[in-house]
Structure 1
Amino acid sequence: MPDKILFVVNKTSGENNNNWQAGIESYFKGKEATIDFYHLPDPVDCDSLDQYIKDAKAKKVVAVGGDGTISLVAKSVTGTSMILGVVPAGSANGMAKELMIPAKLEDALQIIEGGRQTSMDTILLNDKHLCLHLSDVGINAQLIKNFEDGDTRGKLGYFKVAWKTLVRRQALEVTIKNEDKSFCRKAIMVVIANAGKYGTGAVINPEGEIDDGLFEIVVVKRLTLWGFLKIMLSLGFDHKNIEIYQTRSVDILAKHRAHFQVDGEYIGKVDKITAIIQPGNIQIMLPEA
């Protein structure tokens, strides 16, 4: 019996000018695979999505969208025998870049069809949020909120919002408690990293591996205007202003409530974050090594 592949399509991702379903149907025409589609409504109904995925009984469930779409689908397939696939269709596609999944539709579908299946760690945050990629508290989360609240889109709009956010930046005072130590820091942001780089291409966590049973706490102590420009130009972070700690669990306590995001989704203001690794918690299709 042919494998069933369910494509969860977010039509609001990215440039909104691609007919993803037509392209996918064209690719699989004449192939031995059964394909199905679920188009995400706006706003998203998470319960309906979860139920559809369970009822579909598909071997592979593919997120067609950006980081937020991938996170939505991952929540439904985590801990099951279903395999997550990714077709990059967002604006930044940070997670897809991390996983080396190409932006061209045909190339991404070749991985869905015949790539390698591997296990991937996830991070559980505050007992309810699933992190695949990068989450943080501080200036980047505030930037995401400001961008969502604004009325301009695209790279120029992002740059304007980012610059405004940077100029008004405020330092955090945090206490970080991991498995074997507790320490206090002043920082512009603290990153909980299961991966290595943001969607801009800037590497925040050179030690990041998605399947090593560990994650990293990245403390960004300061961010200069030049450091900001390096990030925007995909030249990376100034690592002399960064501390990195590997761990399996952590508690982050902030003196004042601060902006918090998970895999590109703004969550709100928090003063405490707990994080614990969930090794090999999800199966995913990746390019051949």
Structure 2
Amino acid sequence: MRKKIYFIVNLISQKKFIRLKKEISNQASKYNVDFEILRSTYRGHALVLAGKAIDEKAYAVVACGGDGTINEIARVLIDKKTPLGIIPMGSGNGIAGHFGIPSNLSDAINVIFSDYRTKMDVGFFDKKIFLGNLGFGLESIFIKNYNEKGLHGFFAYCIALFKSIKGFIYPKFKIEWQLNEMVLRPLVLLISNLNQQGYNFTLTPNAKSNDGNLDMVYIKKINIFQILKLLIFVIQRKEIPFNEVHRLSFSKMRITNLKGGSIEYEIDGEFFETNKKSLEIRVFNEKLSLIVSES
């Protein structure tokens, strides 16, 4: 039986879709592989389409979109032999960046058909998975503002970030891990499975995707001038020389909201909130098979 690869495409322009289809067709013919392209048209649709692909015995399921689309499709592929492929077509493309998947369309499709695989860990929080990042504080408000604007690209990121800084109200959490506990009022509380957060920016440069741990960075309250200096260091991918920046790694942690109201958070570029007071964050080792660049 010939291999059949399913490509699930998030909303893109018709021009981009035609180019994508042509590139896939050319390389599928070269590798003698069948393919089907499915278009996701609403939030959660990619998850349904990935289920259809699995039911039809897909050889691989490829996410053509950003980190949110990748996350949706990955939910269906947890603990399955069928691998997840990625063609980065979002804004920041942090997940693809961590694994060295090219932003060039033709090169990214070639990675899929080359079929080099690895296993990656998967984080869990509030009955959801995260492949890349789980963020609280400024990170979550930034994602909320970015998604509300309906704009995309680096300039839209900058607008959303400065709006978030201007109106930011500090949350208050207690975290507990490995017989330790700490009370935090974070500007940033970011938990990551990967070494970048998009656009090649990183707050967790040493994170590994298959070590059974999550990397956490906690940034205390700092003034606007320190925030601007922090952004410069992040953009330049330099170590942040602030006493207000703390790091740790863990496999399981409990986070408790001490301020009242909801907990606002982001997962892989999508904003959520919950009224639960206390929740567990944990990682499960090598739960997802992934097609990546061999280099």
TM-score (norm 1): 0.90
The residue type equivalent to 2:70 in the other structure is I
2:289 to 283, 286, 289: 283
Mapped partners of 1:207, 1:229: distance in 2: 18
Residues 137 and 264 in structure 2, CA contact (< 8 A), matched pair in contact too: yes
* Counterpart check, 1:143 vs 2:145: no
- Specify every segment of 5 or more residues in structure 2 that has no aligned partner in the other structure, as ranges: none
Correspondence for 2:280: 274
Where in structure 1 are there 5+ consecutive unaligned residues? Answer: none
* Residues 159 and 62 of structure 1, relative CA distance in 2, 3 Å threshold: same
- Residues 75-101 of structure 1: CA deviation (Å, up to 9, x unaligned): 111111101110111111111111110
How do 1:119-134 and structure 2 match up within 5 A? 119-126=119-126, 128-134=127-133
Contact 1:201–1:236 (CA<8 Å) still a contact in 2? no
Matches of 1:16 and 1:220 in 2, distance apart?
A: 42
Note if contact 1:202-1:231 (Cα within 8 Å) is conserved in structure 2: no
What is the rounded CA distance, in whole Å, between the counterparts of 2:182 and 2:284 in structure 1?
Answer: 24
Residue 263 (str. 1) matches residue 268 (str. 2): yes
The equivalent of 2:112 in structure 1 is 112
Match of 1:247 in 2: 250
Q: 1:68 maps to which residue?
A: 68
**Counterparts of 2:40 and 2:100, CA distance in 1:** 25
The answer to which structure has the higher strand fraction is: 1
CA distance in 1: counterparts of 2:65 and 2:233, whole angstroms: 23
Q: Percent identity?
A: 22
Contact 1:138–1:259 (Cα < 8 Å) also in 2:
yes
**Are the structure 2 counterparts of residues 153 and 131 from structure 1 closer, same or farther at C-alpha, using a change threshold of 3 Å?**
closer
Is the contact between residue 187 and residue 222 of structure 1 (CA under 8 Å) also seen in structure 2?
yes
Q: Choose from 207, 230, 233 the match for 2:232.
A: 230
Give CA deviations for 1:176-195 in whole Å, capped at 9, x if unaligned: 10123111122112112111
* Count of matched residue pairs: 286
Question: Contact (CA 8 Å) 1:172, 1:189: kept in 2 or not?
Answer: no
Letter in 2 for 1:23: E
Contact 2:28 2:113 in 1 (8 A): no
Q: CA deviation at 1:22?
A: 2.4
Shift of 1:46: 5.6
Question: For residues 237 and 173 of structure 1, do their structure 2 counterparts lie closer, same or farther at Cα, with a shift above 3 Å needed?
Answer: farther
Q: Is the 8 A contact 2:23 2:109 kept in 1?
A: no
Q: Which residue in the other structure is 1:18 paired with? A: 16
CA distance in 2, matches of 1:211, 1:197: 15
Distance 1:244 1:49, change over 3 A: same
Distance 2:66 2:189 in 1: 23
Deviation at 1:17, TM superposition (A): 4.3
Distance 1:228 1:98 in 2: 21
Which amino acid letter does the alignment assign opposite residue 210 of structure 1?
A: S
> For 1:104 and 1:232, how far apart are their aligned partners in 2?
24
Aligned mates of 1:152, 1:70 — CA distance in 2: 19
Instruction: Name the amino acid aligned to 2:184.
Output: R
After TM superposition, give the deviation of residue 280 of structure 1 in Å.
Answer: 0.7
SS in 2 for 1:172: coil
User: 1:189, 1:50 → 2: CA distance?
Assistant: 33
Q: Deviations over 1:251-282 (max 9, x none)?
A: 11122334201011111255433111110100
Partner of 2:216: 217
Cα distance in 2 for partners of 1:214, 1:233 equals 25
What's the Cα RMSD here?
Answer: 2.2
